[in-house]
Amino acid sequence: MLSHDQIWSAIDGLAARYGLSPSGLARKAGLDPTSLNRSKRVGPDGRLRWPSTESIAKILEATGASLDEFMANLERGGRRAPRGLPLLGFAQAGQGGYFDDGGFPAGTGWDEVAFPDMGDDRFYALEISGESMMPLYRDGDVIIVSPTAAPRRGDRVVVRTTEGEVMVKELKRRTVRTVELRSLNPDHADRVLSLADVSWMARVMWASQ
């Protein structure tokens, strides 16, 4: 299912992502600046105007946006259901009836959890190097990071300082002026940073095992 509204929303989403107005995005894509005007999306007779695939291709090329990014905006427009996995509390796992002989989920009693539950988020991945974050993260482990999810106390976060240092820590405390970070390796001391020294902070969502 693909709707007129979805497509235009996706285009608007791209424009917003790249800090452009519709006319700015059109201009950047080599289209006429008025071609993405809201006023031109429905004709005077009520007939819907569908942007051409060629225009979309030009937009993607000019912004450098991936097909996936455009697609993500399309899906948002379509209210796609999240993909869920069977979920069971670990304490129940030892009771009978939850797994079949091959170790697959079976029976009733399983909940559902959204995974990977990216939503509108644009996750990225970092590959750990070295052993400084053992035992939590080993050399070669991959962490999945959300630049937009709001970290709370106890969350693992990627922090970049204004000096350019990037670190992974656990968020211990946050005040109006400072952020206190606990090292993942107990041998290293906690850090307290002034928020003015923090360029950005992103939340670790998943870690590979």
Question: Taking CB under 8 A as the criterion, which residues in 31-90 touch its own copies?
Answer: 48, 50-54, 56-57, 60-61, 66-68, 70-71, 74-75, 78, 80, 83, 85-90
3-state secondary structure of 193: strand
Q: Give me the 28-67 binding string for DNA, x by CB under 7 A, dash otherwise.
A: --xxxxxx-xxxx--xx--xxxxxx-xx------------
Q: Distance between CA 113 and CA 131 in Å, rounded? A: 31
- As beta bridge partners, residue 37 has none
Q: Distance between CA 166 and CA 184 in Å, rounded? A: 14
Helix (H) or strand (E) holding 111: strand 111-114
| Options 104, 177, 189, 196; binder of its own copies; rule CB under 8 A | 104
Residues 10, 69, 76: CA angle, nearest 5 degrees: 50
Q: How far is the CB of 25 from its own copies (least distance, A)?
A: 15
Cα 65 to its chain centre, rounded Å, is 15
Question: 29: Cβ–Cβ under 8 A, 6 or more apart, which residues?
Answer: 55, 58, 59, 61, 62, 63
User: Please, which of residues 113-152 interact with its own copies by CB under 8 A?
Assistant: 113, 115-116, 122-130, 135-136, 138, 142-144, 147
Does 22 bind DNA (CB under 7 A)? Our answer is yes
Q: Which listed option, DNA, its own copies, none, makes contact with residue 23 (CB within 5 to 8 Å by class)?
A: DNA
Q: How far is the CB of 53 from DNA (least distance, A)?
A: 8
| Options 101, 175, 177, 187; binder of its own copies; rule CB under 8 A | 101
